[in-house]
Amino acid sequence: MNDIVIDTHNISRVYNPTTIPVYAIKNLHLHIRRGEFTALVGPSGSGKTTLLNLIGGLDKPDEGQIVINGTDITKLSPGKLIDFRLHNIGFVFQSFNLIPVLTARENAEFIMLLQGISKNERDERIKQLFRQVDLEEQIERRPSELSGGQQQRVAVARALASKPQFILADEPTANLDSKSASNLLDIMNKLNKEENITFLFSTHDQRVIDRARRVITLVDGQIASDTEPIMTSYAH
Amino acid sequence: MLVVMAWRNIWRHKARSLVIMMSITLGLLAGIAVLALYEGMLVSRIRTVIDEETGHIQLHHPNFSDENESKFIIGDTTEIFKILRNIPEIIQINKRTLVNGMMSTPTGTAGVQVFGIDTATEFSYSSLKQKIKEGNDLTSYKRNQVIIGKKLADKMKLKIGSKLVLMFNDTTNNLVSSAFRVSSIYQSTNAPVDERLIYVSGSELSELLGLPGQIHEIGLKLNDDKAVDLVASKLKSLLPNLKVETWKEISPETEFMVKTVDSYSYIILIIIMIALAFGILNTMLMAIMERTREIGMIAALGASRIRIFFLVLLETVFLTLGGAPLGLLIGWLLSVYFNKNGLNLSGMGEDVLSSFGFKVIIYPSFPAEKLLPVLIIVVVTALLSSIIPALKAINMKPIDALKN
Ligand SMILES: Nc1ncnc2c1ncn2[C@@H]1O[C@H](COP(=O)(O)OP(=O)(O)OP(=O)(O)O)[C@@H](O)[C@H]1O
Ligand SMILES: [Mg+2]
């Protein structure tokens, strides 16, 4: 049973290779299985963002392979990589990053339109997604008419709209108050348990770390510690 | 959805978008106004040339135009007239006897071009009769009457009834002179012509030249300006012994003006397009730079480069179409209005205009069928100038764009 969705093999990312090389990521091996709920922690500058960008196909490693669901994304052409992201990876960014001119519903629909999904399927899926993130009332609002927490839930709905292999989130709660942060975590947790959605998120927030089922600690671009994954939903 | 996004993106900066739309509107409005005015002046000039100066086509002895000697007469006209009357496009035929000479009065002398005319045909052929401002005309027949221009009359201090002497060479190169009396004074919109051209009776002039009844020039008017070249080539083969010239050949300066105005029109159009291109380039660059994050984010989510490129072009098209059609429409409506009612340019100085042979009232015209091509040129220009911003947009790296 090979259920590894993310497999990084000996990856390194070096900045300023010609002057004073900075290893943002150094010889890193990482496996993430389907259904995991993993927090990426570590001091500032330890390489969390760099690692998430590499796994998300937004950046290329200087060494090593990144295999997502059987595909080595380091070998894809730029155009193929964009397409790969569209169909396989869901993104939630720190500062919300919704498209401001589109409503909550349109933001989620945008991804599905890029994928070429039919109108009926889009409508159905949007209904379901916004029920899951508990925003059915606010579906026709623009981002500017939503609170930060609501915007981040729209971002989660949008990330899920493409039915990705997993969702990457770089400090998703950093700009939220503690109540909104806890609410977002509730929803992510529920999606993980009920829909078996894989989440990989970075965070500094101890309360968020406490709710993760696997915690990977990075120091200087290397894994300093890795707790055993607690596979609740994966087990059955 | 890209269309929706593009449309809404335009309105994120209402003021900026409205300003650029309005500049497009005003630019095109001004452009069309100038082009329509040029066209109106041109049409008016061509009408003046054809109706008052040359007619559509003129026939001469092959050597006449070069040497302008009175011995180069057309000769027996009965055969020629038969041929001319058989061509349906020809609606008027006018005969003239011509000579260059000197005019002398007690105050001085002046070189003149003498037109010997038959008033019966001349008055319906050219607008001479309408231009006569003082005195009677040659129809109340007395011998040796002359019609002179106002400008010449003023210069030589001549009045109705004044006496003057005309001198010219006859066919045998003898100097002939004869006394004439001013019967009328005309004034046209073409000052240089007024100073040079005088009219006498054709039969009297031909007798003085020793060529009774002979003519040097046959002028033709056609039912359609566009038939000129066709009829001219027909006449060339039918009348091989005569020189056939159209108004364009007789008045090359007018033909030159047509070409000059045409190229000016292109230059004006190009200047407007360059201004438009820079306006669009600037606006779209600004719009792209301030949305770096957003465009990077869309690319991160999986929007292809073609889609992002297309988004930028769509926004450009919306901006352009927000301004261009209105400018074209207003410009065209104005040209239609003034085409109907005439535009009085006397404020620009009547004398200046008439010394260049222009009329004071201009009927600007801008053909409706040119509106769509202009609109297409505008849109294409705008699209071309948005290529740089669009390339900038697709080359944004999501990773840089998303950095906090
Ligand atoms: N574009 C860049 N050029 C040079 N060095 C960079 C660049 N981006 C990141 N780095 C360096 O790489 C290392 C890892 O940075 P990264 O942003 O991944 O850390 P992080 O764990 O996300 O930090 P934080 O918790 O503050 O977000 C840091 O030492 C950083 O200075
Ligand atoms: Mg970071």
| Ligand 1 binding pocket mutation candidate from A14, A16, A22, A223 (most atoms within 8 A of CB) | A22
Above pLDDT 90, what percent of chain B?
Answer: 46
Q: Which of B293, B298, B399 sits opposite A59 (nearest CB)?
A: B399
Q: What is the pTM of this model?
A: 0.78
- pLDDT (0 to 100) of residue B31: 87
C-alpha distances in Å from residue A14, one per residue of A6, A64, A220: 21, 12, 12
Q: Which ligand is nearest to the CA of A48?
A: 1
Identify the pLDDT of residue B88.
92
Q: What's residue A1's pLDDT?
A: 41
Interface of B with A (CB under 8 A): 1, 4-5, 8-9, 12, 293-294, 297-305, 307, 397-399, 402, 404
CB contact under 8 A, A56 and B307: no
- The whole-number pLDDT of residue A233 equals 44
Indicate which ligand has the atom closest to the C-alpha of A170: 2
Q: What whole-number distance in Å separates Cα of residue B98 and Cα of residue B145?
A: 16
Residues of A within 8 A of B396 (CB-CB) are none
Identify the closest residue of chain A to B1 by CA–CA distance: A110
For ligand 1, atom 5, the nearest C-alpha belongs to A15
Q: Is A60 on the interface with B (CB under 8 A)?
A: no
Q: Of all residues in chain B, what percent are helix, strand and coil, respectively (each to 5)? A: 60, 20, 20
Query: How many CB pairs lie under 8 A apart between chains A and B?
Result: 64
Contact across the interface for B402 and A93, Cβ inside 8 Å: yes
Instruction: Give pLDDT, residue B21.
Output: 92
Of B198, B197, B215, which is closest to residue B206 (Cα–Cα)? B215
Chain B residues closer than 8 Å to A85 by CB: 300-302
Residue of A nearest to B13 (CA): A101
* Tens-level pLDDT at each residue, chain B (404 residues): 889 999 999 998 899 999 999 999 998 898 888 888 888 888 888 888 888 788 999 999 988 876 667 888 888 888 899 999 999 999 999 999 999 999 999 888 999 999 999 888 888 888 888 888 888 766 666 788 999 999 999 999 999 889 999 999 888 888 899 999 999 999 887 788 889 999 999 999 999 988 888 999 999 999 988 899 999 999 999 999 899 999 988 888 888 888 888 888 889 889 999 999 999 999 999 999 998 889 999 999 999 999 999 999 999 999 999 989 899 999 999 888 988 888 887 766 666 666 666 667 888 888 888 889 889 999 999 999 999 999 999 988 888 777 75
Q: Are A32 and A4 in contact (CB under 8 A)?
A: yes
Q: How far is the CA of A50 from the centre of ligand 1 (A)?
A: 6
In short, whether A13's Cβ falls inside 6 Å of ligand 1 is no
Ligand 1 proximity of A43 Cβ (cutoff 6 Å): no
Q: Walk along chain A (236 residues) and give the pLDDT tens digit of each residue.
A: 458 999 999 999 999 878 888 999 999 999 999 999 999 999 999 999 999 999 999 999 999 999 999 999 999 999 999 999 999 999 998 886 899 999 999 999 999 999 999 999 999 999 999 999 999 999 999 999 999 999 999 999 999 999 999 999 999 999 889 999 999 999 999 999 998 999 999 999 998 899 999 999 999 999 999 986 655 444 33
Q: What is the pLDDT of residue B66?
A: 65
Q: Where are the domains of chain A?
A: 35-57+77-227
Interchain CB distance below 8 Å, B302 and A106: no
| Residue B279 Cα, gap to closest chain A Cα (Å) | 24
Question: A interface mutation test: which of B3, B7, B14, B301 has the most A CBs within 10 A?
Answer: B301
As for the ipTM of the complex, it is: 0.90
SS3 state of residue B93? strand
- Helix residue ranges per DSSP H, B11-118: 14-48, 64-67, 78-85
Chain B contact present for A109, CB below 8 A: yes
Among B1, B298, B402, whose Cβ lies nearest the Cβ of A106? B1
| A35-57+77-227 homologous superfamily | P-loop containing nucleotide triphosphate hydrolases (3.40.50.300)
Strands (E), A19-165: 22-33, 37-41, 63-68, 71-72, 89-92
Ligand 1 centroid–CA A187 distance in Å is 29
Strands B108-117, B197-201: parallel, antiparallel or unpaired by DSSP? parallel
Q: Which residue has the least CA distance to atom 13 on ligand 1?
A: A24
Q: Which residue of A has its CA nearest to B295?
A: A99
A99–B297 CB contact, under 8 Å? yes
Question: Six-digit token pair at A140?
Answer: 């026709």
CA distances from A52 to A24, A28, A81, A206 (A): 12, 12, 15, 19
Which ligand 1 atom is the nearest neighbour of the CA of A52?
Answer: 18
- Residue A66, classed as helix, strand or coil, is strand
Do A93 and B294 lie within an 8 Å CB cutoff?
no
Residue A205 Cβ contacting ligand 1 at under 6 Å: no
Query: Are the beta carbons of A192 and A233 closer than 8 angstroms?
Result: yes
B4 to A95: CB separation less than 8 angstroms, yes or no: no
* Residues of chain B contacting residue A158, judged by C-beta atoms under 8 Å apart: 301
Is A82 close to B404, i.e. CB distance below 8 A?
Answer: no
Q: Can you tell me the distance from the alpha carbon of B109 to that of B31, in angstroms, rounded to the nearest whole number?
A: 48
Distance, CA B71 to ligand 2 centroid (Å)?
Answer: 103
CB B149 within 8 A of CB B123: no
pLDDT computed for residue B132 by the predictor: 87
What pairing do the DSSP bridges indicate for beta strands A214-219 and B132-135? unpaired
- Give the position of tokens 């988004």: B311
Q: With an 8 Å Cβ cutoff, is A87 touching chain B?
A: yes
Report the pLDDT value the prediction gives residue A234, as an integer from 0 to 100.
43
CA-proximal residue: ligand 1, atom 1 (nearest): A15
- Rounded CA gap, A172 and A159, in Å? 12
A13, A28, A46, best to mutate for ligand 1 pocket (most atoms within 8 Å of CB) = A46
> Torsions phi, psi of A224, nearest 5?
-90, -35
